[in-house]
Amino acid sequence: MEETRMKVLVNDEDQYSLWPTYLDVPSGWRETEKVGSKEECLAYVKEVWVDMRPRSLRRQMEETAG
């Protein structure tokens, strides 16, 4: 059985998701440069998504702290 190729998507809140390459990218998401096996894509997400807070929450917390 052939393994499904995945791509890594990101939304405007800097949240990441894995998505099969054969499906259209859903509204509100955009592709990153990463395409590969599920394991490769998960490793990429683990490397780049170091702050799981949504962008809007990070901004709010920075404004409150500053």
Q: Which domain holds residue 32?
A: 6-65
1 in a structural domain: no
What CATH number is given to the structural domain containing 25?
3.90.820.10
Q: Does the residue 33 lie in any domain? A: yes
Any domain includes 20? yes
| pTM of the full structure | 0.84
Q: What are the DSSP calls for 3-64, one per residue? A: PPPEEEEEETT--EEEEETTSPPPTTEEEEEEEE-HHHHHHHHHHH----S-HHHHHHHHHH
pLDDT tens string, the chain, 66 residues long: the values are 678 999 999 999 999 999 999 999 999 999 999 999 999 999 999 999 998 888 888 888 888 887
